[in-house]
Amino acid sequence: MVVGLVPSEEQERIFKKLMDYYRALYPGLEFSKKEKKMTHKELGEVYCTYAGEEAEATAKEKMRMISSAIGEGYSTPIIILEKNGKMILLDGHRRIRVAYAEGLEWPALVMVPSKNVKFGIEDMIMGKVKDLYGK
């Protein structure tokens, strides 16, 4: 594993923390977990959220590391919130950019809420992957 890349087992812990966080934010709401291999086309339809502050040069360096590690089997899943068929990216912003740019399929851990609610993260949507980073 290349230093600086998120290993799959850590992503499982992040997924659990996010589920616990969302349950605390939305009392009474439950979530199920789906594991999915997303096609290149599906990745393009994912709604990107603000990834947090990071210099573009740093992001590009990390994306180069991800691209290089893919050849060695790197495939840590992205984390998505699915709402009424709409896929909203919660974690894995650089991974999805690299996978989409390289025309790959990519694994995803998907949180599916038990009922329809307005999530605060929806206000942070910047656009679809294909529109923001399209090819």
Taking only the tens place, the pLDDT of each residue in 3-56 is 568 888 899 999 999 999 999 999 999 999 999 999 999 999 999 998 777 677
What is the domain count for the chain? Answer: 1
The pLDDT of residue 133 is above 80: yes
Q: Answer whether residue 55 is part of any domain.
A: yes
* Number of C-beta neighbours around residue 33 at 10 A: 12
* Token representation of residue 10: 């850590």
CATH number at 65 reads: 3.90.1530
The continuous run of DSSP H or E covering 88 comes out as strand 86-91
* Token representation of residue 108: 């995803």
Structure pTM?
A: 0.91
Q: Answer whether residue 100 is part of any domain.
A: yes
Q: What is the pLDDT of residue 60?
A: 86
Q: Are 36 and 108 in contact (CB under 8 A)?
A: yes
User: CB-based contacts of 93: which residues, under 8 Å, 6+ apart?
Assistant: 48, 49, 51
Q: Answer whether residue 1 is part of any domain.
A: no
The pLDDT of residue 117 is above 70: yes
What domain range includes position 79?
A: 8-133
Q: Answer whether residue 3 is part of any domain.
A: no
User: Cα–Cα distance between 65 and 76 in angstroms, integer?
Assistant: 13
